Structure 1
Amino acid sequence: MDFFEIDGSYGEGGGQILRSAISLSCITQKPIQINNIRAKRKTPGLSAQHLTSIRILAKICNAEVHGLEIGSTCIKFVPGLIQDQKIIENVGTAGSISLISQVLIPVVSLSRKNLELKIIGGTDVSWSPTIDYTKIVLQEAYSRFGISFSLDVERRGYYPKGNGIVNLNVLPTKKLSTISFTKRETREADIHCTYSKIPSNIIETEVKKISKNLEKANFVTQLKIRNEDAFDKGASILISSKDAKSIIGIDGLLNVKNFKFSDISKSFIECNLGIDSHLADMIVIPAALVDGISVFRVNSITKHLETNLYVTSKITGCKYGIGRIDGGFEIRVEGASGSRI
């Protein structure tokens, strides 16, 4: 059998290239071999979070997988027929449910299937989008493409115990559309904050500081603060905005040692183009598979985005270009809709 080989050390050399390659293997039905997995990380190879993502995808598309174990630096993935599924999974750690969801949603929806997933793990953890970012920002961006999913949080899961519970329901895409995200026009910003086992006055003080900073920059803010129980103490915050030409979200976690949020308001204010830099790499896969050209503008190009554009173009045959504009960059992706099953 011929395998499409990917060097996992390319670009940022982390989990992003693994997630994208396996997702695209399922969507395009191309057997894939990934070498040098997470070669540039302090602890190379597969982690529990990656195992869970691949294991669920293997169930969904009846795949044959070789090398699926903790620490493995090479796997072979042979996708089979994708089916509707109802699944319960436990990451077993505080591994990010958001990152796992990013892998599953486009695969299931673009393959015109259904998924009902109950997953246990981390909802708001370091080096990952918060679950509110996934529920609010990613959901809105995907809906513009025609990808639909719903996400319900039964329980929050912070580091180190995790044990958050999320119910994810992915629906089949009826029609995939191109997108254009060029410049933020709205001056409205929503602030979502959830916390557990921390005095409410501390949280309210921190959130109001961020809100005042936004108001000084002429944003009208709406605050939503919720106490949601978890096994560990913790808190997360998300500032988001959306209009016809932009979707932007900046999130962060509370430092539980000094009970402070970092000042994410500055990052939100400066993020004035079409999308935030994290969302940029998340929308590459659907942009690569739609019939037509999608356009989005960002203030900066991340290693994750560069890596995703490279890997996605290699597997799907899509074309892309990056050009400088005032204050940032414009990315154009011409989809290869014929590579989708």
Structure 2
Amino acid sequence: MEPIKIDGEQGEGGGQIIRSAVTLSAITGKPVDIENIRKNRKIPGLRPQHLLGVKILAKICQARVEGLYVNSTSLKFFPSQGLNLDLQEDIGTAGSIPLILQVLIPAVSLMKNSLKLSIIGGTDVPWSPTFDYTKYVLTEALSRIGINFTSEIKRRGYYPKGGGLVETQIQPCNCLNPISLVERKTISAKIFCSYSHIPKEIAEKEIQNAKIILGKNGFNCEISIKEENALDKGCSILIFSHDKSSVIGSDGIYQKSLSGLGESVAKKFIESNLGVDLYLSDMLVVPLSLIKETSVYRVKQITKHLETNLFVASKITGCKYGIGKLDDGFEVRISGVSDT
């Protein structure tokens, strides 16, 4: 079978297009040829943080891979039959564990395989969802589709040293279900904060700032603050809510200063008042593109990552999608050609 050609300059033009293409390739069994990888970035081509997810997936689906090296601007991925595996991996840097799990979770489950994975790297790092977002938001959303996994943190890994340890178990999917997530109706929210090597009172102040903002907007809050072991100092905050017609999360991490972190995360959460948040909107595309029935969700903005995933999914699976403008956001509809 000739590989499907994917232009890596499409959409956000970065790592997202690689993750989505190889995930769908593994699930569908269709080989892909990705060109112009990160062509317009300051350092073009594959970076170390992009490699491990593809390497692990290649092990699982016994894929032949061409171009899998640092700075490569093209990648060919030829999948084969999936395996049930128990793996131990080390990114070797503070590379994002949540971004690697974005590749592995739907791919393994929808190939109807299982995976037990212990992985060392970054759990809460820049330009990535936090581990807690993966555990409390992505887990909930994917479970409604029929994709189930558990993920437990054994040690936090902040930038730049990393060293975080996560254990994940992914189960085979038995049945895919369409979803409808259009409007948040709950007034209950949970705030989860983890921190390491910073004064507790500083973290508590940020959480109180977040609680005040949520309270002014009518939300009842359940708060959890936990000091955790890590090599570097750091802090992450997640605010999330679930109800029948919405799954929404907002997160942020300590970088140069904690000042304003709680307020920033709370304001993003308040703004996400439709069915899903901006980050979840693109993570849902891969599984939904494989379901015959139409799924619908509403989001405040159409991001480049969402555009990228819709482009890749339609190219590989042949799914149909539409985006409609609302008074306060957008509605996304996705219809797959056939169930996996």
Amino acid at match of 2:106: P
Per-residue CA shift, 1:287-317, capped at 9, x if unaligned?
A: 1011200000001110100111011011000
- Decide whether the 8 Å contact of 2:206 with 2:258 is kept in 1: no
Amino acid at match of 1:64: R
Per-residue CA shift, 1:99-158, capped at 9, x if unaligned?
A: 000000001111111000001000000000000000000000000001000001000000
Deviates more, 1:81-90 or 1:262-271: 262-271
RMSD after superposition: 1.0
1:320 Cα offset (Å): 0.2
How many Å separate the matches in 2 of 1:267 and 1:260?
12
Indicate the SS of the match to 2:222. strand
Instruction: Within 5 Å, give how 1:1-341 maps onto structure 2.
Output: 2-257=2-257, 260-261=260-261, 263-338=264-339, 340=340
Amino acid at match of 1:85: L
- Decide whether the 8 Å contact of 1:233 with 1:256 is kept in 2: no
- Decide whether the 8 Å contact of 1:184 with 1:243 is kept in 2: yes
How many Å separate the matches in 2 of 1:237 and 1:95?
19
Q: Percent same amino acid at aligned positions? A: 54
Runs (5+) with no aligned partner, structure 2: none
Runs (5+) with no aligned partner, structure 1: none
How many Å separate the matches in 2 of 1:133 and 1:38?
26
How many Å separate the matches in 2 of 1:330 and 1:151?
30
- Decide whether the 8 Å contact of 1:293 with 1:334 is kept in 2: yes
Instruction: State the TM-score, normalizing by the size of structure 1.
Output: 0.98
Indicate the SS of the match to 1:247. strand
Deviates more, 1:260-269 or 1:46-55: 260-269
1:257 Cα offset (Å): 3.8
Amino acid at match of 1:146: G
1:3 Cα offset (Å): 1.5
Indicate the SS of the match to 2:195. strand
How many Å separate the matches in 2 of 1:44 and 1:116?
33
How many Å separate the matches in 1 of 2:298 and 2:259?
34
Distance 1:222 1:33, change over 3 A: same
Tell me how many residue pairs correspond in the alignment: 339
Per-residue CA shift, 1:52-75, capped at 9, x if unaligned?
A: 000000000000011111111111
How many Å separate the matches in 1 of 2:26 and 2:227?
38
1:256 Cα offset (Å): 3.9
Distance 1:258 1:279, change over 3 A: closer
